[in-house]
């Protein structure tokens, strides 16, 4: 059940009831909404619909009708102030001041209002910047802001067309790709960069044999050529030099574990290595950019500190004279150069929140201390770029969907308790829900996404109370989770600053123990000594077991995928291969086919009693389906569960074979925002420490 379904169904039911009442000749009297109900409606208008003006109007009604419920009135005023902040309105300050003045008995709400007042600083002058929402639905807008500030450009990976949003008119248009295009042409879909003059684009793609290549072309697809391709190497473009003579790129030979930051000539494809990166720091290499004059290269990556953390680095364009800029034990991530090339702008949590800072650069060196430019910007907005007039464009992403639970009769497939939404700390659908062996806890990954701070939070939910506990293992990335048989730790694939591997994570202390390098989808056998995992990619994956005491490894079965599961007794694995679902002994031997033909692919999970396999359908694009089957583990007819939920992502059956949990992914709500007069505010910041924070809070 999704929010959209809920609200749509509620409206339909209301309409039917009204019609029935009219038919009976009864005069329907609508019951006035309570202050609490109005507050819920306002929160929905603000956070789900994104209609800030409407939310403000509803919050005003809450304050007017709250009566003696001062907690509700105070919260409504606080939320009203936050809405005004997002709109860049001076009314925000008035709302916060009223909270402090009139609701002193609401200590927590007053404390939050004081924080916002401190962030706003003194009254903003003409030089201050203001956040303005450009689009409430920016789902079709993405990519980067062009150097002249006219367009936000991206590429349609289905067609190769360049999609551009014109900032001044608000219109979206396409530059049709007249060249060839195939399903492999879009490459990873991530690494594509436009030349500074806006005439060309470079992107990674793959041949029909899945060999990586770097290609460049004109925007309309003409002039297409392969600039670089070398067997065994993967290359990702990061930026064009200002004169378009070279492309800054990351090149890797993953078998040799060698990664480099390189310059690739656009004339002949020759490569110049600027520096080695090493694994896994390549995945932690964030924004990389030429200075506007082309003399310097700035980038952010994990440094060598203790503990390791992201720093901003600066070097000359030939790879020499590398220095750390604005060094600090906090996390620093480069956003880019100012258009005049005199400063670097970066994101940092050195003050306890994710803020925008800037630092002057002269002659390839830092000048003076970094200065705070924008308080409480947050980490997750997608930065699009700076316009020549100093405006700063970015895109916000609010995940939609969530976690649900219910109950099913596994013998008949009938639903006993209809799915109901579950409240979670973080919005959006959690990934990979999995029950502990005793069924007391549900583990999942909150905010699944890229390898960035604040994403991929390993979460333990207590089934009895619904309380969530967030673990903080010293891992940059956590994925592919399962429970250890004793239920006291979680087994996961993870990334550290120095390596990629499989780990045991203590569910109480978050302490990590590395079990093995590499691998994927790890499962621990009941003996606590045998680790089962997958290696390879796609249909060529191999399921392997490893003796943790001796380090000895042996092949279980070859030719499956990483979507497998280990039986509760640790004796068998179930896996899919070439459209069929099979089981095989952990000691090897001939696989036994259970079924085929129900779907293109599957997510597979063994029930806790070992009697059944739960098979959730996936399509060719590797996304989940609403269809779920219960399959006898010893063979027999699959039974389709009477549970059909659009956009279901992950399904987890409780060890009691009755209760279940699943997540629903409804995509995201995207908005386009601009901080106007952003860079000129830097001058004011030099005169007054607070001037740089006299701005509307990020949405």
Q: State the pLDDT at residue 208.
A: 81
pLDDT greater at residue 297 or residue 255:
297
Contact 154, 190 (CB under 8 A): no
pLDDT in tens, 127-154: 457 788 899 999 999 999 999 999 999 9
Q: What DSSP character marks residue 621? A: T
Please tell me the distance from the alpha carbon of residue 491 to that of residue 531, in angstroms, as a whole number: 10
Using the predicted structure, report yes or no on whether residue 221 has a pLDDT greater than 50.
yes
Angle at Cα 311 formed by Cα 313 and Cα 265, nearest 5°?
Answer: 35
Q: Residue range 590-608: average pLDDT?
A: 91
Contact 345, 360 (CB under 8 A): no
Query: Do the domains at 33-120 and 398-670 have one common CATH topology?
Result: no
Contact 81, 99 (CB under 8 A): yes
Helices (H) and strands (E) in the chain, counts: 7, 46
Q: How does residue 215 score in pLDDT terms, banded at 50, 70 and 90?
A: very high
Q: State the pLDDT at residue 389.
A: 85
Q: Is 254 left (phi over 0), alpha (psi -120 to 50) or beta?
A: alpha
Q: State the pLDDT at residue 47.
A: 79
Q: Residue range 324-344: average pLDDT?
A: 92
Q: State the pLDDT at residue 186.
A: 63
Top-tier CATH class for 33-120: mainly alpha
Residues with Cβ within 8 Å of residue 453, at least 6 apart in sequence: 331, 349, 379
Q: State the pLDDT at residue 282.
A: 45
Q: State the pLDDT at residue 12.
A: 28
Q: Which CATH number fits domain 398-670: 3.30.70.260, 1.20.1510.10, 2.120.10.30, 3.40.50.300?
A: 2.120.10.30
Q: How does residue 238 score in pLDDT terms, banded at 50, 70 and 90?
A: very high
What is the DSSP code string of 311-325? EEEEEETTS-S-EEE
Using the predicted structure, report yes or no on whether residue 339 has a pLDDT greater than 80.
yes
Fold of 178-285: Neuraminidase (2.120.10)
Tell which residue, 125, 34, 101, 54, has the closest CA to residue 79.
54
Tokens for 605, please give them. 């999970």
Contact 413, 641 (CB under 8 A): yes
Using the predicted structure, report yes or no on whether residue 8 has a pLDDT greater than 80.
no
Residues with Cβ within 8 Å of residue 292, at least 6 apart in sequence: 242, 337, 339, 340, 341
Size of the chain in residues = 699
Which residues make beta-bridge pairs with 174?
163
Using the predicted structure, report yes or no on whether residue 67 has a pLDDT greater than 80.
yes
Q: Residue range 218-229: average pLDDT?
A: 95
User: If residue 119 lies in a helix (H) or strand (E), which one and from where to where?
Assistant: helix 107-120
Range name among 140-144, 218-222, 493-497, 695-699 with the lowest pLDDT average: 695-699
Tokens for 677, please give them. 């007069």
pLDDT greater at residue 113 or residue 254:
113
Q: How does residue 3 score in pLDDT terms, banded at 50, 70 and 90?
A: very low
pLDDT greater at residue 288 or residue 49:
288
Q: State the pLDDT at residue 14.
A: 32
SS3 205: strand
Q: How does residue 451 score in pLDDT terms, banded at 50, 70 and 90?
A: confident
Please tell me the distance from the alpha carbon of residue 260 to that of residue 237, in angstroms, as a whole number: 12
Count of CB atoms situated within 10 Å of the CB of 388: 12
Q: Residue range 209-213: average pLDDT?
A: 86
Q: What is the pTM of this model?
A: 0.73
Backbone angles phi, psi at 39, to 5 degrees: -60, -40
Using the predicted structure, report yes or no on whether residue 393 has a pLDDT greater than 90.
yes
CA 361 remoteness from chain centre:
32
Contact 533, 546 (CB under 8 A): yes
Extended strands (E) in 67-182: 130-135, 144-145, 151-155, 162-166, 172-175
Please tell me the distance from the alpha carbon of residue 102 to that of residue 97, in angstroms, as a whole number: 8
Residues with Cβ within 8 Å of residue 278, at least 6 apart in sequence: 257, 259
- Taking the alpha carbons at both ends of the chain, their separation in whole angstroms is 27
pLDDT in tens, 489-517: 999 999 887 778 999 999 999 999 999 99
Using the predicted structure, report yes or no on whether residue 690 has a pLDDT greater than 60.
no
Q: How does residue 680 score in pLDDT terms, banded at 50, 70 and 90?
A: low
Describe the chain by its helix, strand, coil percentages, rounded to 5.
Answer: 15, 40, 45
Q: State the pLDDT at residue 644.
A: 82
Contact 481, 434 (CB under 8 A): yes
Backbone angles phi, psi at 263, to 5 degrees: -110, 130
Taken in order 386, 392, 393, 394, the sign of the CA dihedral is positive
Q: State the pLDDT at residue 571.
A: 96
SS3 257: coil
Residues with Cβ within 8 Å of residue 582, at least 6 apart in sequence: 560, 574, 575, 576, 591, 592, 593, 594
Which residues make beta-bridge pairs with 468?
461
Residues with Cβ within 8 Å of residue 64, at least 6 apart in sequence: none
Contact 418, 1 (CB under 8 A): yes
Please tell me the distance from the alpha carbon of residue 689 to that of residue 371, in angstroms, as a whole number: 8
Q: State the pLDDT at residue 306.
A: 57
Extended strands (E) in 466-548: 468-470, 477-483, 489-495, 500-506, 512-517, 520-524, 530-535, 541-547
CA 454 remoteness from chain centre:
9
Q: State the pLDDT at residue 687.
A: 43
Q: Residue range 214-228: average pLDDT?
A: 95
Please tell me the distance from the alpha carbon of residue 108 to that of residue 175, in angstroms, as a whole number: 52
Specify the residue for token string 């169904």.
9
Using the predicted structure, report yes or no on whether residue 634 has a pLDDT greater than 80.
yes
Work out the mean pLDDT of the chain and round it to a whole number.
85
pLDDT greater at residue 14 or residue 572:
572
pLDDT in tens, 531-548: 999 987 656 689 999 999
Contact 304, 277 (CB under 8 A): no
Using the predicted structure, report yes or no on whether residue 378 has a pLDDT greater than 80.
yes
Q: State the pLDDT at residue 4.
A: 32
Q: How does residue 15 score in pLDDT terms, banded at 50, 70 and 90?
A: very low
Per-domain residue ranges of the chain: 33-120, 178-285, 398-670
């Amino acid at each position: 059940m999704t929010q959209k379904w809920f609200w749509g169904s509620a409206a339909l039911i209301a309409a039917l009831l009204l019609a029935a009442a009219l038919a009976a000749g009864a005069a329907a009297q609508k019951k006035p909404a309570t202050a609490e109900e109005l507050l819920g409606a306002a929160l929905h208008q603000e956070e789900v619909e994104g209609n800030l003006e409407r939310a403000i109007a509803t919050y005003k009604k809450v304050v007017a009708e709250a009566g003696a419920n001062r907690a509700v009135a105070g919260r409504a005023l606080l939320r009203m102030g936050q809405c005004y902040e997002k709109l860049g309105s001076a009314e925000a300050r008035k709302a916060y001041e009223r909270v402090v003045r009139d609701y002193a008995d609401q200590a927590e709400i007053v404390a939050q209002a004081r924080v916002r007042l401190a962030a706003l600083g003194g009254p903003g002058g003409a030089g201050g910047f203001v956040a303005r929402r450009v689009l409430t639905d920016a789902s079709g807008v993405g990519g980067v802001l062009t150097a002249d500030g006219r367009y936000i450009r991206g590429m349609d990976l289905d067609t190769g067309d360049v999609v551009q949003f014109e900032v001044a008119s608000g219109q979206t248009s396409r530059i049709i790709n007249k060249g060839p295009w195939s399903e492999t042409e879009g490459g990873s879909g991530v690494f594509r960069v436009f030349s500074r003059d806006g005439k060309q684009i470079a992107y990674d793609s793959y041949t029909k044999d899945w060999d990586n290549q770097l290609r460049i072309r004109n925007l309309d697809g003409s002039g297409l050529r392969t600039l670089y391709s070398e067997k065994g190497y993967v290359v990702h473009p990061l930026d064009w030099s200002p004169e378009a003579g070279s492309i800054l790129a990351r090149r890797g030979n993953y078998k040799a574990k060698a990664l480099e930051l390189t310059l690739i000539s656009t004339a002949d494809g020759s490569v110049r290595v600027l520096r080695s990166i090493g694994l896994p720091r390549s995945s932690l290499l964030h924004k990389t950019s030429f200075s506007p004059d082309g003399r310097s290269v700035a980038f952010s990556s994990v440094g060598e500190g203790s503990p390791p953390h992201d720093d901003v680095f600066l070097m000359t364009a030939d790879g020499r004279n590398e220095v750390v800029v604005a060094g600090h034990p906090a996390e620093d991530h480069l956003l880019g150069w100012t258009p005049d090339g005199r400063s670097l702008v970066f994101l940092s949590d050195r003050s306890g929140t994710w803020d925008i800072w800037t630092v002057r650069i002269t002659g390839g060196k830092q000048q003076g201390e970094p200065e705070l430019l924008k308080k409480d910007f947050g980490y997750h907005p997608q930065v699009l770029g700076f316009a020549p007039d100093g405006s700063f464009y970015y895109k916000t992403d609010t995940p939609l969907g969530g976690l649900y639970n219910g109950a099913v009769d596994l013998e008949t497939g009938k639903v006993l308790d209809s799915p109901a939404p579950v409240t979670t700390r973080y919005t959006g659908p959690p990934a990979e829900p999995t029950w502990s062996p005793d069924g007391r806890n549900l583990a999942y990954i909150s905010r699944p996404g890229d390898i960035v701070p604040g994403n991929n939070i390993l979460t333990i939910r207590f089934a009895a109370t619904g309380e969530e506990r967030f673990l903080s293992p010293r891992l940059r990335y956590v994925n592919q989770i399962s429970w250890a048989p004793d239920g006291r730790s979680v087994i996961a694939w993870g990334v550290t600053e120095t390596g990629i591997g499989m780990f045991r994570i203590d569910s109480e202390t978050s302490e990590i123990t590395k079990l093995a390098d590499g691998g994927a989808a790890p499962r621990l056998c009941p003996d606590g000594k045998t680790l089962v995992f997958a290696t390879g990619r796609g249909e060529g994956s191999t399921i392997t077991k490893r003796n943790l005491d001796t380090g000895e490894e042996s092949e279980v079965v070859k030719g499956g995928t990483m979507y497998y599961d280990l039986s509760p007794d640790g004796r068998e694995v179930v896996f899919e291969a070439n459209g069929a679902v099979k089981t095989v002994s952990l000691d090897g031997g001939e696989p036994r086919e259970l079924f085929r033909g129900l779907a293109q692919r599957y997510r597979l999970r063994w029930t806790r009693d070992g009697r059944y396999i739960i098979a959730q359908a996936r399509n060719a694009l590797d996304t989940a389906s609403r269809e779920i089957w219960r399959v006898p583990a010893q063979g027999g007819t699959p039974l389709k569960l009477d549970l059909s939920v659009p956009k279901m992502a992950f399904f987890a059956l409780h060890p009691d074979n009755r209760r279940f949990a699943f997540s629903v992914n409804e995509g995201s709500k995207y908005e386009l925002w601009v901080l106007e007069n952003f860079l000129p505010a830097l001058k004011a910041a030099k005169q007054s420490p607070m001037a740089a924070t006299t701005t509307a809070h990020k949405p």
